[in-house]
Structure 1
Amino acid sequence: MPHLLYSLHLQPPGPATVTMMSDEYLVECKIDDDDEEEEKLHQTPPPPPQFSTPATPQPLLSQPESRDPYGINQHLKVEFSDVLAEPASPHSCDRVWIYSGIGFESARIWSYRCLTLLCAVPVSLLTGCLFACLACLHIWCVMPCVQVFHSCLPCARSLWLSVVNIFIAPLCSSVARCCSGIYVKLSKE
């Protein structure tokens, strides 16, 4: 696919002349004999995904594949072999070991499901309210106070430097001069 860059300058009385120009005035023209690509150029592109209508309506609350995508609760992935294990010498019957594993997993899964059925919605509402209160306090109380301090501290700093230079520094230097003549001798008697 060859590309030609050219500039054409037409003069009214005479023939067309080709002149050298800076790169900002150059136009890129693609020369191609392929008709399929030419048809693609004349077609309107599809709209961006946010503006196109989906072919099938999606449910309001879709369940993601992973409910812990950031791995917050990796430490809670407990299996039967993480909790119970028999050493090589004392073994129980094989059926006892299999049924105890099934019982452990069933009790763990169904207890979790029952507890989440009872507690998940109220706890999520409470944590949502807690984080909303924290966000509100941060947005409307903490950050305005921080901005007030940032805007007032330069003035307070210059005021404090003036107080130190006018009152405290001369007082400290005069006390230092008064005390510079004092000598302390330690002797054993």
Structure 2
Amino acid sequence: MDTMMKEDDTEETEIDLGDSEPEDSDELEEPEPLWKAPAREEEEEDMTSALVDISDTKPLLNIRDPRGINDCLKVTFEDVIAEPVSVRSGDRVWMWSNALFEVTRVWIYRIVTVLLAVPVSILSGLLFAILSCLHIWMVSPFIQSVLISTSCLQAWWSIVLDVAVRPFLSSAGKCCGGISVHLARE
């Protein structure tokens, strides 16, 4: 069969996966990973080990929603208030309404986050720490001990299923395998 293949009909197809560097650009910066906050110049000199450089607890100051969890909250003035063509207010009223909407939205959000962000963060951290501790030290060991202690029962149950249930189901499958249904419109 190898002799039937034509070698002169082969074409090379180049697929750009986007992971190679462009050839015309000499000054490309290496992209920062999303989990790592950009380091300042004086911080780069202070780093003594690779563990200090890679930190999950360093906050992302520039990219605060890297996974796009809150895309539904990107609300602008035009999403909330819109005037039809037939009825219009004055241009000054529209500009002032837009400005007041944006200022109110931003400042009320900042005030509410100052009041609630720290307590909610503390409660969330406490809740996740308790759940992690319970899962690591109680739930997982309990499940593993049950699985270890019931391994003999699992072996017996497997034997019972192989001896009693499997022959019945395989014969029922062979009987039903010969059935064919043809639908015809009259």
TM-score under structure 1 length normalisation: 0.51
Is 2:39 the counterpart of 1:54?
no
Select the residue among 103, 127, 131 that pairs with 1:130. 127
Counterpart of 2:70?
73
Select the residue among 75, 91, 94 that pairs with 1:94. 91
Deviation at 1:82, TM superposition (A): 1.0
Q: For 2:129 and 2:70, locate their aligned partners in 1 and report how far apart those are by CA, in whole Å.
A: 22
Structure 1: 5+ residue stretches without partners: 1-52, 170-189
**Equivalent residue pairs, number:** 112
Matched residue type, 2:79: D
Q: For 1:72 and 1:161, locate their aligned partners in 2 and report how far apart those are by CA, in whole Å.
A: 45
Q: For 2:158 and 2:119, locate their aligned partners in 1 and report how far apart those are by CA, in whole Å.
A: 55
Deviation at 1:153, TM superposition (A): 2.7
**Superposition CA RMSD, Å:** 2.9
Higher RCO, Cα 8 Å, sep 6+: 2
What is the CA deviation profile of residues 141-161 of structure 1, one whole-angstrom value per residue up to 9, with x for unaligned ones?
111122122212321234567
TM-score under structure 2 length normalisation: 0.52
Q: For 1:63 and 1:160, locate their aligned partners in 2 and report how far apart those are by CA, in whole Å.
A: 52
In terms of fraction of residues, the more strand-rich structure is: 1
Deviation at 1:71, TM superposition (A): 1.2
Q: What does 1:8-157 correspond to in 2, within 5 Å?
A: 54-55=44-45, 64-157=61-154
Counterpart of 1:46?
none
Q: For 2:150 and 2:85, locate their aligned partners in 1 and report how far apart those are by CA, in whole Å.
A: 70
Identity rate, percent: 47
Structure exhibiting the larger radius of gyration computed from Cα positions: 1
Counterpart of 2:36?
none
Deviation at 1:135, TM superposition (A): 0.8
Structure 2: 5+ residue stretches without partners: 1-42, 48-52, 165-186
Deviation at 1:139, TM superposition (A): 0.7
What is the CA deviation profile of residues 38-65 of structure 1, one whole-angstrom value per residue up to 9, with x for unaligned ones?
xxxxxxxxxxxxxxx833689x966521
